[in-house]
Amino acid sequence: MNNKWTNSLHIRVIFVFVNSLLLSIITSAAISAMLYNVYKNSYATDWIAITMHKYYYSYGLSSFIFPLVIFFHFVYFIWLFRKWSTYFTKVESVTKALSEGRFEVEIPKQSKKIPVSVFENLELMKEQLDYLIKKEKKINRLKNELITNVSHDLRTPLTSMIGYLQLIEDNHYKDEVELMYYVDIALEKSLRLNRMVNDLFEYTKLQNDELVLNKINLNLNELMRQLVSQFLPDTDKKGVCMKFEEKYPKVNINADPDKIMRVFENILSNALKYGSEDKDIKVIINQEEYVATVEIENGGNPIPQEAIPLLFNRLYRVESSRSFETGGTGLGLAIAKGIVDSHNGSIEVSSNEQKTSFKVILPL
């Protein structure tokens, strides 16, 4: 018989029911035959013969056999089902332990009398519950970390901004030059807070699949050329050169230009921030088969290999001080990856002593 059928719980129960019914019929028939034999060999004046004759004559043979069949059917069914009953009592205790979060409980050992699917489903339920509990704990931990990190990042510029505004409120400045200096610092801190709040909203949309993409057919060469020109004041200020190399003259992709621009703004900002002043930043655009690639290279200290898989985690920074002087909100790369993922693309990262490279791959 096929294992799928023999291992079915329903088939096993039916099998026990049918077997107990057959045994009860055989037993009842045997008892009836025995009593009939006693009746046949008894004298007409014997009380057994008289009683059986009256019963058979009044109710018939079937009314005698039927209660016997019912009785023995019940007895045999309980007897054949006893091993299952013991096992399912253990299963009940296991499920109760699992519901209370005690996942170290041992699953009852497999038995030939019990369908394999029962063991497999019970073990699967244990693994799934354990996974869900661990996942929930991880989510709560990440949520607490997010609140802690965001609170820290918000408090630092906010405290500074309040301090300078308090100085202005108390007229603690020498002249208008110092006043404007305080105002500029307060404005810079407020703009930084605004950027962080916008990053948080953007990241939340990505996590909740609420990001709306307005895709059009765009020329990636023109978009990157425009973006590189926007960074010229910053590169001149730092004293580095941003070189634009086109290995393919015209690369067209179907994408949301604003979102894609945001991706490369984040990566180029990091390249400029962490790159060394004596090495140029390279932007290389190419087309490979069915994908477009944009590779951004910069010099500087290499990213530790163990940190590369964590770069796109929310609020992660290679440096742990969480200072705005050495890093941003820690959401830039997480947002960039989310946007690229929503375009069915990917980002590859490599880093060594010579260069650090971020390669964005987008479908055509």
At which residue do the structure tokens 């510029």 appear? 157
Burial 341-359 (b: 16+ CB within 10 A, else e): ebbebebebebeeebbbbb
pLDDT at 5 (0 to 100): 41
Domain assignment of residue 132, yes or no: no
Domain interval for residue 347: 216-363
Percentage of the chain surpassing pLDDT 70? 70
Which residue did the predictor score with more confidence, 54 or 14? 14
Domain assignment of residue 224, yes or no: yes
Whether residue 99 is predicted with pLDDT greater than 90 in this model: the reply is no
Domain assignment of residue 228, yes or no: yes
pLDDT at 185 (0 to 100): 84
230 with 324, same domain: the answer is yes
pLDDT at 273 (0 to 100): 84
Q: Other CB atoms closer than 10 Å to residue 196's CB: what's the count?
A: 19
- Both tokens of residue 1? 């018989």
pLDDT at 68 (0 to 100): 76
229 with 196, same domain: the answer is no
Tell me if residue 298 falls in helix, strand or coil.
strand
198 with 240, same domain: the answer is no
What CATH number does the domain containing 238 carry?
A: 3.30.565.10
256 with 352, same domain: the answer is yes
Q: Are 206 and 338 in contact (CB under 8 A)?
A: yes
66 with 175, same domain: the answer is no
Tell me if residue 172 falls in helix, strand or coil.
coil
Long-range contacts of 306-309 (CB under 8 A, 24+ apart): 308/349, 308/350, 308/351
Whether residue 322 is predicted with pLDDT greater than 50 in this model: the reply is no
- Please state the rounded mean pLDDT for residues 348-364: 89
pLDDT at 61 (0 to 100): 58
Measure the CA–CA gap between 261 and 244, rounded to whole angstroms: 16
203 with 260, same domain: the answer is no
Tell me if residue 90 falls in helix, strand or coil.
helix
261 with 157, same domain: the answer is no
pLDDT tens for each residue of 283-318: 999 998 889 999 999 887 888 888 888 888 766 655
Q: What is the pLDDT confidence band of residue 362, given thresholds at 50, 70 and 90?
A: very high
318 with 234, same domain: the answer is yes
Domain assignment of residue 220, yes or no: yes
Radius of gyration for the chain, computed over Cα atoms and rounded to the nearest angstrom? 40
Residue 281 has phi, psi (to 5 degrees) of: -100, 130
Whether residue 59 is predicted with pLDDT greater than 90 in this model: the reply is no
State which of 99, 114, 129 marks the end of a domain. Answer: 114
Q: Cα–Cα distances in Å, from 142 out to 32, 150, 310, 314? A: 75, 12, 14, 9
Q: Are 267 and 228 in contact (CB under 8 A)?
A: no
- Both tokens of residue 195? 């950027």
Q: What is the pTM of this model?
A: 0.56
What CATH number does the domain containing 195 carry?
A: 1.10.287.130
Domain assignment of residue 195, yes or no: yes
Measure the CA–CA gap between 87 and 157, rounded to whole angstroms: 64
161 with 229, same domain: the answer is no
pLDDT tens for each residue of 144-156: 766 776 676 677 7
Q: What is the pLDDT confidence band of residue 9, given thresholds at 50, 70 and 90?
A: low
328 with 234, same domain: the answer is yes
Per the structure, how many domains does the chain have? 3
Which one-letter DSSP state was computed for residue 175?
Answer: S
Domain assignment of residue 128, yes or no: no
Q: What is the pLDDT confidence band of residue 199, given thresholds at 50, 70 and 90?
A: confident
Q: What is the pLDDT confidence band of residue 321, given thresholds at 50, 70 and 90?
A: very low
Domain assignment of residue 123, yes or no: no
Q: What is the pLDDT confidence band of residue 1, given thresholds at 50, 70 and 90?
A: very low
Measure the CA–CA gap between 77 and 15, rounded to whole angstroms: 10
Secondary element (H or E) of residue 287: strand 281-288
**Helical H segments across 208-274, by residue range:** 220-230, 232-238, 257-274
Percentage of the chain surpassing pLDDT 90? 8
pLDDT at 181 (0 to 100): 85
How many CA atoms are closer than 13 Å to the CA of 332, on its beta-carbon side? 18
Whether residue 38 is predicted with pLDDT greater than 50 in this model: the reply is yes
Q: Range with the lowest mean pLDDT among 114-123, 191-200, 216-225? A: 114-123
Among 273, 278, 268, CA closest to 231: 268
Whether residue 192 is predicted with pLDDT greater than 50 in this model: the reply is yes
